[in-house]
Each structure stands twice: as structure tokens, then as C-alpha cells.
Amino acid sequence: MSDEEKKINRKERRVYAKDAKEDNKILNSSSASSSSASFAFFPLRSSRFLFFFFLFLLLFFSFFIPGLSAEVPEPPPSLEEALSKLATAAPAYEPPFRSQRQIRTAIPERFLRRKKPDSDSIRPLSIPGLDHPLTQKYIRQYSTKGGLSWLWAVLDKGGPYLAFIRRETEARNLPPELVYLPVIESGFLPTAVSRSGAAGLWQFMKNSIGGYGIKITEYADERMDFWKSTQGALKKLEDNYKQLGDWALALAAYNAGLGGVQRLMKQTGISDYWILAEQGLLKPDTIGYVSKLLAVSYILSNPRQFGFTPTWPDDPRWIRVGLDHPVDLEVLAEHAGVELEMLKKGNPELRYTISPPEKGYQLKVPSRDAPAILAALERTDLPLIRYRFHTIGYGDTISALAQHYRLSVDQILAANPGTNARILHIGGKIRIPAITDVTAPYQGQNTTVSKTANGGPGELQFRGSHLVKKGETLWSIALGYAVDPQLLAAANGMDLNDTLREGRILKTPLIK
């Protein structure tokens, strides 16, 4: 191909390419216009579909998304309005319903673990020695099951007197532990008698009552008068403290005698009770005396610590009524409409139920019964003593009658003013105070009795016997015989913590 032909071909290809570009532009513009025309006409063809579609969206948001509703929410209430609404709307508390079965199967309170008391709630003692090993030994001993049962039983016996003793102790500003000293001395039994013959709540010996207003007569042993003996014992303890300057030594002197303790202190040069006790220089009973008192005082002052809550007895609020003539308590209780047992508890010093014949005897009565008793005493038409009448026969004597009826000669003569004991007229009448339980008729001078009225309480004798039964302890047996458990153990050659075997025979006091 020539050069000229080549040039013509290149020109033709350029023209052809230019035409092709213009054709493409035309095609593109026509396709765009056709697509826009179809889009413009699309809503017109699907308007029914869109209508239902938008209706569905409106219903969905109205029912399932209330936060998008057109309602305007109320503003939140103020704090005061909210509290007032809450107070008025809160229903009253009602305990949850529990069926009878649930109640019956509930765990009893006594089996629940008790919370140990805080140290601040424990009452300390005013007399030192609580931490001494001997005191701790007695705390463990008295806090056993048997020991605690014995303590509560003793408190029950002392119920009529406990509040009176506490008031007397507080009035003298004495250590509160002294309130519980009768627990150690007598088991709070006002008629208790020791092996050595000491008697009453505070265990006065016959030779130690001088200077404390206590007397012993054929009608009354005032060592058993809870009023006089309490005042006398507290005064004696005060006197001991003034002499020795230490309460532990004062208590040791109350048990062993002031003179004996003073001599021991002078001989040894030791003025500390605990050192004297540790070295065994005191009597065996005195060595444990103070420790026992501190142990008992600690337990009874902090009963919750030991898992018990004792029921403290009511206070009778005793008052004393002076008598101008003898009165039989049984007759007085009947006419006054009061409880005879309380009159006996208030006057345990009387050997009989009759008051002494001398004027001025102070009868102790509960304050609630005082008006009725005073009204009965003021009546002159009421015979407040009962008598038996004996017709004098051949050979009868006042002495023989006194023996038979368990009275003294003076008691019979006091009931028969003007009677000469040496000259009795056959067929005459003799009044016999009906104050003993003798009911058998008088049979003459051959009648004998084992004990006269003025014999008085003697030493405690272990002449009885007791067969040990299953489950019994020295504590429980001591309660039955109204004796201190330590004495019972010692009389049988035992220690208080020894185990009792069923079938063993123990020596015990005779029950009157």
C-alpha cells in the first residue's frame, strides 16, 4: 500500500471513531431519560402498597412504643409528696401466717444458741477475789446443772426475805454481795440448824448473840427472826470490817470468830485473807467461805451469762405490829382472812403458832395484810387463842401436864393467872394452850415425852438414811432434807462433785 492510501485509511478510522463516540453519548442520554421517566411513574403504580405500609408503621409505634406517643408526661412529684403518699399507702404490718404444725415444730427457745453477753453488761463484784483459782473452782461447781437448780430452789426459799435483806444492806452502804451470804450460811432456810448448833438465816451461835438484840426464850428463838437476825448480822459484819479494814477478812471473822482471825494475823504477820487461805492457815470451812460467797454472788448477779433468768419473788414489804397479849397465828389468820402460811414465814422464830405472853412482841406481817390484821387485833370480842380444858384429878401436877402437852410449866401458869402450882384442887379446871399437835388425852403421871418445849434446837445430827435412786444427786437430796449440800457430802465422806451410784445409802438428818 502506498503512503497515500495509508493516510486515507487513518483519516477514515478517525472519522469512524468520532462517530462512534457521538452515538454512545446519544445512547447514554436516552437510557438515562428512560430510567428517570420510569422512576417518576413508580409511585403512581405502588401508592396502595405504600399507604398500607405507612399505616402499619403508625400502628406499631402507637401500641408498642408508648414513649413515642404524643402525650406529655407529668412532672415527677416532690420529695414531701412522695413521702406522704408512701406513708398513707403503706399497709399495717401483719405477722406471717403460721399453721399449728409450723408452731408445734418450731425449735424451742431453750435449744437456740444464746448470745454471749457483752463485757459491759456483766456486773462486777465490789469484794476482790473473783479471779482467784478457788473462786473460779466454785463458779464452775455452782454453774453446773445441779448447782444452778439448787441455787434457784434456795432463792425460792429466800423469796420472802431477799428484798428486806437487800434494803437493809443498801441502807448501810455495805457491799451488795452480803445479800447472798444466807445462801452460803443456811440455804436461805430461816429455821436451819448447823452441826455446831448455829441457827437461822445468818447462823448465829448461842454465845454470839450478845449486843445484837437477839434473845432465846421458851416461846421464841430470835436467831430465826429474819428481821432481828439480819440487822444483827449486818452490824456484826460492819464491826468486823471496822476492826480489820478488809471485807474478805471481815467475812472470815464472821465464820471463824473475830478473836481467832486477829490472833492468827498477829502470829503470822499476814493481813491478806487470800494468802492465809493459800497457806492453809485458816480452818477448812473458812478457807472456802469467801470464795463460795463471791462465786454465788457472781452467778446470781449475772444469771443470763449462765443461760438462766431467775424469777425474782415478789416483795411482801414486811411491817411489824406490836402485840399487847399472846395471839395464836392460826386463829388470827382465820379471823383476819389472811394467809396463815405468810404469817408463819414472817415469824419463823416462834416455837409454836402462839406469840410470847409478854407485852411488846413484834409480829411481822405483809403490808397488804396489815389493815385486816390490825382490825382483828382491835376487836375485844374475838378470842385470838385456843385452849384445852383439863379437869384436875387425883395426883395431877402442872409438871406432868406440861410434859404431856409439850409445854413448859410457865406457859400453863401464864394461861391460868392466880393458880399455885403446888396446890391444885381436885375437880378444878386448868386451861391448856392448844398450841401443840398433841391430841391424845392425859393419862396421868406415867406419861413421858421425848422432848420438852424449852429444849431448843440442838446440833444437826445425821441419824437418818436415804437410799439413792436413779438420777439423784447430792444437790437434789440436800434440797429434800433442807441441808447444805457441802455438809451432806462431808457427813458421807464424799466430795460435792462425786458421782452417786444408785442403791447407795446416805446418812441424812431426820425429817421432823
Is pLDDT larger for residue 93 or for residue 166? 166
430-467 pLDDT, tens digit each = 888 877 767 676 766 544 433 333 334 455 677 778 88
C-alpha distance from residue 83 to each of 41, 74, 86, 171, 501 (Å): 64, 18, 5, 55, 71
Q: What's the pLDDT at 345?
A: 95
Q: What's the pLDDT at 293?
A: 97
Q: Any alpha helices (H) in 127-198, and if so which ranges?
A: 133-142, 145-157, 159-171, 181-185
Radius of gyration (C-alpha) of the chain in whole angstroms: 51
Average pLDDT over residues 468-486: 80
Q: What DSSP string runs through 20-89?
A: HHHHHHHHHHHHHHHHHHHHHTHHHHHHHHHHHHHHHHHHHHHHH-GGGSSPPPPPPPPHHHHHHHHHHH
Is pLDDT larger for residue 194 or for residue 88? 194
66 class by beta-carbon count within 10 Å (0-12 exposed, 13-18 middle, 19+ buried): exposed
pLDDT surpasses 50 at 148: yes
H or E element, residue 195: none
Average pLDDT over residues 90-96: 44
Asked if 453 and 407 touch (Cβ cutoff 8 Å), the reply is yes
172-196 pLDDT, tens digit each = 999 999 999 999 999 999 999 988 8
H or E element, residue 408: none
Count of other CB atoms within 10 angstroms of residue 164:
18
Show Cβ contacts of residue 171 under 8 Å, excluding neighbours closer than 6 positions.
none
- Annotate 81-105 with b (16+ C-beta within 10 A) or e (fewer): eeeeeeeeeeeeeeeeeeeeeeeee
Q: Tell me the CA end-to-end span of the chain in Å, nearest whole number.
A: 170
Distance CA 175, CA 251 (A): 11
Nearest partner of 186 among 255, 253, 138, judged by Cα: 255
Average pLDDT over residues 90-97: 44
C-alpha cell at 66: 408508648
Indicate if 185 belongs to the active site.
yes
107-136 pLDDT, tens digit each = 344 333 333 444 445 666 789 999 999 999
Show Cβ contacts of residue 265 under 8 Å, excluding neighbours closer than 6 positions.
244, 249, 271, 276
327-340 pLDDT, tens digit each = 999 999 999 999 99
Q: Give residue 427's region: left, alpha or beta (phi > 0; psi -120 to 50).
A: left
The type of residue at 191 is T
H or E element, residue 467: strand 464-467
Q: Which of these is catalytic: 168, 177, 185, 222?
A: 185
Distance CA 225, CA 213 (A): 11
